[in-house]
């Protein structure tokens, strides 16, 4: 957690409790229907029958990605969704979760997780994977956006539940870079319920995973786990997971 001796700083996870209806990203606008076919609404089932929600994104017919803090006892993966209140047939189970082995729940470092899906995803016009940024991508990406069904502002909870999106500008931040993260600053960005969704930049590739944000007085710093720094882990984890079923 970032610390500041003069300012009250609070790190907030962007996971949405089940009793709050998912709305939209803070300050965003409705996405064009099915313009982001890689988006996943992840329903997490916890002990006691409670539900929480995160975002996520499809990598291929076998795997999706989300944040490591979105761990649960079991999951339901909803694909091809625009309005979360609509009934859809594309709901898939998670066979096994692979949170990063060095995920730190105190600092949210290495906040990245792969989910092995079962059965395999049926790829179609409304359900498609997204490509990941290469592991040798060292520059700070431009023209980035985030999307999700999370809250639309800091106070209102009951909101429309269509997929929302907003552009964000990444800042060159040493602390974020040392934590293998990207960061954006301001009062607009991902809200609670958007954890695990993709930071999409440049030519439509996923560069980051929505993780958490810090409130510093009236300003927020949004944090995204940096996918290029985890490419070796992603590839080796998927390879091992597929071998388990052979």
Q: How far apart are CA 222 and CA 181, in angstroms?
A: 10
CB 16 within 8 A of CB 193: yes
Of 170, 225, 235, whose CA–CA distance to 202 is shortest? 170
218 is catalytic: no
236 is catalytic: no
Of 165, 136, 192, 127, whose CA–CA distance to 28 is shortest? 165
CA 70, 74, 79, 81 dihedral sign is negative
User: How many CA atoms does the CB half-sphere of 4 hold within 13 Å?
Assistant: 11
212 is catalytic: no
**Residue among 147, 161, 195, 212 flagged as catalytic:** 195
**Residue among 69, 181, 211, 212 flagged as catalytic:** 69
Q: How far apart are CA 175 and CA 152, in angstroms?
A: 27
**Residue among 111, 161, 194, 211 flagged as catalytic:** 111
The residues annotated with a catalytic role in the active site are 69, 111, 195
């Amino acid at each position: 957690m970032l610390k500041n001796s003069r300012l009250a700083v609070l790190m907030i996870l962007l996971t949405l409790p089940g009793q709050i209806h998912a709305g939209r990203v803070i300050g965003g606008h409705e996405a064009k229907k099915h313009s982001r076919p890689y988006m996943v609404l992840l329903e997490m089932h916890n002990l006691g029958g409670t539900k929480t929600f995160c975002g996520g994104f499809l990598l291929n017919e076998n795997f999706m990605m989300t944040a490591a803090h979105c761990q649960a006892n079991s999951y339901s993966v909803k694909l091809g969704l625009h309005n979360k209140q609509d009934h859809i047939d594309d709901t898939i189970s998670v066979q096994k979760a692979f949170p990063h082995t060095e995920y730190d729940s105190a600092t949210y470092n290495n906040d990245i997780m792969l989910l092995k899906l079962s059965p395999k995803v049926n790829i179609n016009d409304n359900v498609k994977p997204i490509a990941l940024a290469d592991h040798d991508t060292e520059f700070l990406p431009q023209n980035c956006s985030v999307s999700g069904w999370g809250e639309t502002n800091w106070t209102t909870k009951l909101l429309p539940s269509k997929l929302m999106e907003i552009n964000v500008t990444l800042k060159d931040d040493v602390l974020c870079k040392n934590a293998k993260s990207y960061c954006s600053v301001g009062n607009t960005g991902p809200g609670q319920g958007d954890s695990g969704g993709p930071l999409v930049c440049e030519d439509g590739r996923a560069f980051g995973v929505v993780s958490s944000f810090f409130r510093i007085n009236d300003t927020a710093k949004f944090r995204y786990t940096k996918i290029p720094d985890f490419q070796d882990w992603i590839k080796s984890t998927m390879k091992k997971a597929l071998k388990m079923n052979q």
